[in-house]
Homo-oligomer: A and B are copies of this chain.
Amino acid sequence: MLEHVRIVLINTSHSGNIGSAARAMKTMGLSDLVLVDPVDFDPQAPSDVSVAMASGAQDVLQGARVVATFEEAIEDVAVVMGASARSRHLPWPLMHPRKATAKALEVLPSGQKVALVFGRERTGLTNDELAMCQIHIHIPTNEDYASLNVASAVQVLAYEMRMGILAHQGELDANYEGNWGVSWDNELANQGEINGFMDHLEQTLVDIEFLDPTNPKQLMPRLRRLFQRAMPDKVEINILRGILKMIGRSQHK
């Protein structure tokens, strides 16, 4: 679905920002970039600064389509989402990026396109351009300092879109698998092994006179909670028991 998310940059002044936006897109797996009337950009011969800022995302940069009007940029798009500052003369339904992503996921699965539209560096989108967007996205920035660079705004919305799509496809949490996923190197200890270790630990603490069996307080419950929470693997339990064994030997010398 990432291939159906288009980034549209309108009237960008600095080609370096176009390069940075291309890089931000590619890190999140997006590739469809359309530039509406850029002030200083030629995809056939991108400027040095745009290539430098793209830093390995030149394919996105060189694949960019340059068009004269916003209408051309969104002709084949089902849902147009414009990045907007908070207050406008005529109020318009504003969504935060997560909600807008959920909205995009209502159409992306059917193969329809969604466009994320970003305006000029200083002035953003005009009211006429915003009127052509079905959804206005507002990134909930610091009210005292909303100075988000255009490439940073692309980065945030592309990230949010990627997170939403991965989650939708069941690939987000699956790739992390809780804490001990497929990439964990050892099998987790089972509860028998943990209990064996806890008994060994308790006996050792008695032996070294750290734990008074007649007045145990909350020591063992606290230690158990600590080790349960850590969910040790089998190798770690073996290491811990090895340590206890050595403590025991040093006691009986």
Contacts and interface: CB of A to CB of B under 8 A. Distances in A.
Interface of A: 23-24, 26-29, 55-57, 87, 90-91, 93-99, 138-142, 145-149, 152, 155-156, 159, 162-163, 166, 172-173, 175-176, 178-181, 183-185
A185 B141 CA distance: 23
Contact of A142 (B28, B180, B184): B28
Nearest to A87: B183
A238 B55 CA distance: 54
A147 B96 contact: no
A175 B56 contact: no
A96 B164 CA distance: 12
Given A95-B176, A152-B24, A166 B147 contact: no
Given A95-B176, A96-B176, 18 more contacts: A23-B147, A24-B152, A26-B142, A27-B148, A55-B147, A55-B149, A56-B145, A87-B183, A91-B184, A94-B181, A95-B179, A96-B173, A99-B176, A140-B162, A140-B166, A140-B172, A152-B155, A159-B159
